[in-house]
Amino acid sequence: MIDTSVNNRMRAAVVQLNSTADTGANLEAAERQVRAAAADGASLIVLPEKWPLMAAGEALAAGAEPLDGPAVTAARGWAGELGVTLVAGSLTEAHEDARPTNTSLLIGPDGKVAASYRKIHMFDVDVGGVAYRESEVEDAGDEVVVADCGPGRIGMAVCYDLRFPELFRALVDRGATIFTLPSAFTVTTGRAHWETLVRARAIENQSFVLAAGQVGKAEPQFDSWGHSMIVDPWGRVLAGLEDEAEGFAAAELDFTEQARIRADLPALANRRPQLFEGLEHEQAGHGLNGGVA
């Protein structure tokens, strides 16, 4: 049961950046916004996808770093110094015996990595006249990750994951009350789908969504939508940023109000998941999920 005391709240912030291939400048911009959000009272701060380096696939692979590399070391230092929980967006993580992964890290106020999530769904699409093939340079993760954070429980996702509601069901089934979503949505898909999908994931799972996005252009063809936002379990946008703007948006997360929403409209309790077990295998047989057409 969620505690109904006055301490059952948390101020959270999402950071919006225009990261490029200049890692040094990216780290400086991220630090500036993290410090500003902490000064505003945020105890949970989310950075966007690929915040240390936005570049073409080969450059991303070349710039991949292990979890004791400079970007993670810097982020751990900020969290520890400021006493905040920091979702270090996502970065290209180097592995000794495998290809890089698109990895999001949850860093506690003690400066230690509390959880790591490797993006499950690879962005292999053609949109806006550009072909994106994330799987050509990175491997997909295969683990659903949830971790405690003060009065809340964080379910971790990254960008394209937003289009796969089954991941968010798995997160909420593991107790998530907050979803963190570092992103770099394209302008084409962002204009059409971003806010609708973010609010849908919040409404259907009666959870907070902290969606931190990249914004603006980066070489060779990136053009990111921005519009970072914090959405509550009723689907209300509590705070947000427009496109073209680096900065942060912050809001209070009220977990007592979340508990009331879940009790008054018990959609999660009314689910009947046993009726749908094995459905993915049936879909495959009808030509979905890569099955026979």
Q: Which residues are known catalytic residues?
A: 49, 119, 159
Task: Give the position of tokens 């990216």.
Answer: 26
Q: State the Cα–Cα distance between residues 22 and 111, nearest whole angstrom.
A: 25
DSSP class of residue 141? P
Nearest to 241 by CA among 216, 220, 221: 216
Radius of gyration of the chain, Cα coordinates, nearest whole angstrom: 18
- For the CA atoms of 240, 243, 244, 248, what is the dihedral angle to 10 degrees? 20
CB neighbour class for 7 (10 Å; exposed up to 12, middle 13-18, buried from 19): exposed
Q: State the Cα–Cα distance between residues 113 and 86, nearest whole angstrom.
A: 9
Residues 6+ apart with CB under 8 A from 225: 185, 186, 187, 189, 190, 191, 194, 213, 215, 243
Q: State the Cα–Cα distance between residues 44 and 24, nearest whole angstrom.
A: 24
Structure tokens at 223: 């053009």
